[in-house]
Structure 1
Amino acid sequence: MPVPPRPLKAVVDDRVDHCAVTSGRWPALTEVDTRWRGSFGYFAALVGPEEEQERIPLCRIEYLGGDRWTFALYDPASDSYIPQLLHTGRWEGSPDDAFETAALVHLADYEA
């Protein structure tokens, strides 16, 4: 699998975090943290006040090259990532689509 170049990783990190935090859809969300390993990016939500912040694993994205990404949703019961369709109904999409899909599942119960 191809590894996303460093500038692309930075764009994904900034764009997903900015869009998620400023959208107002997830009021308890303070940051989306992205960690990279090879062709995979792992999104986690940081929610709550800074002194009591909780880290919630959300999903994994996989870079396929060009503008192609796949998605796997974090499953806390098995502590693993399970390939899933995005909220768009497709197997491939943008990192923003991956965040939105995972947030619908994992952040629905969090309030500011």
Structure 2
Amino acid sequence: MPTPTEHARLALELRLNVHAETRWPQLARLQIRHRGQFAYVAGELSGGDTVKLMRLRYTGTGSRWGFALHDAGDDRYRDALLPTGTATGTPEDALDCACLLHPAALAD
């Protein structure tokens, strides 16, 4: 399995943070940690609580990542399809999907 370069990891973080600032003002910031081919993304709310959102899997290109939603019931990540019907997509599409599925945590 390919692992992202440092450049790809930094580019992912920049893309997600810029998108979160413009689309998801409920998030004070994103917490992104990398492990091998995966990037784990959590959102920090303005009150200080943290919500695990998703896991992205590097596919060899920085423009398309595999997508898994966090299942709070058993604290695991489950591969999921994006609204486009595909299992891979842009990091921004993945963040939108994950945030839309956490309405209670991200409500204004």
Same fold (TM > 0.5): yes
Q: Which runs of 5+ in 1 are unaligned?
A: none
Q: What stretches of structure 2 of length at least 5 have no aligned partner?
A: none
Counterpart position of 1:4: 4
Alpha-carbon distance in 1 for matches of 2:41, 2:2 = 19
Deviation track 1:37-80 (CA, whole Å, cap 9, x = no partner) reads: 000000100102xxx40110000000011243110000000110
Alignment of 1:1-112 (within 5 A): 1-23=1-23, 26-48=24-46, 52-66=47-61, 67-106=63-102, 108-109=103-104, 110-112=106-108
Percent same amino acid at aligned positions?
A: 36
Task: Give the Cα–Cα distance (whole angstroms) in 2 for the partners of residues 99 and 33 of structure 1.
Answer: 12
Q: May I ask how many residue pairs the two structures share in their alignment?
A: 106
- How far does residue 111 in structure 1 lie from its aligned partner after superposition? 3.4
Two-structure CA RMSD over aligned residues (Å): 1.3
In the superposition, the TM-score normalised over structure 1's length comes to 0.87
Q: Answer yes or no: is the 8 Å Cα contact 1:60–1:72 preserved in 2.
A: yes
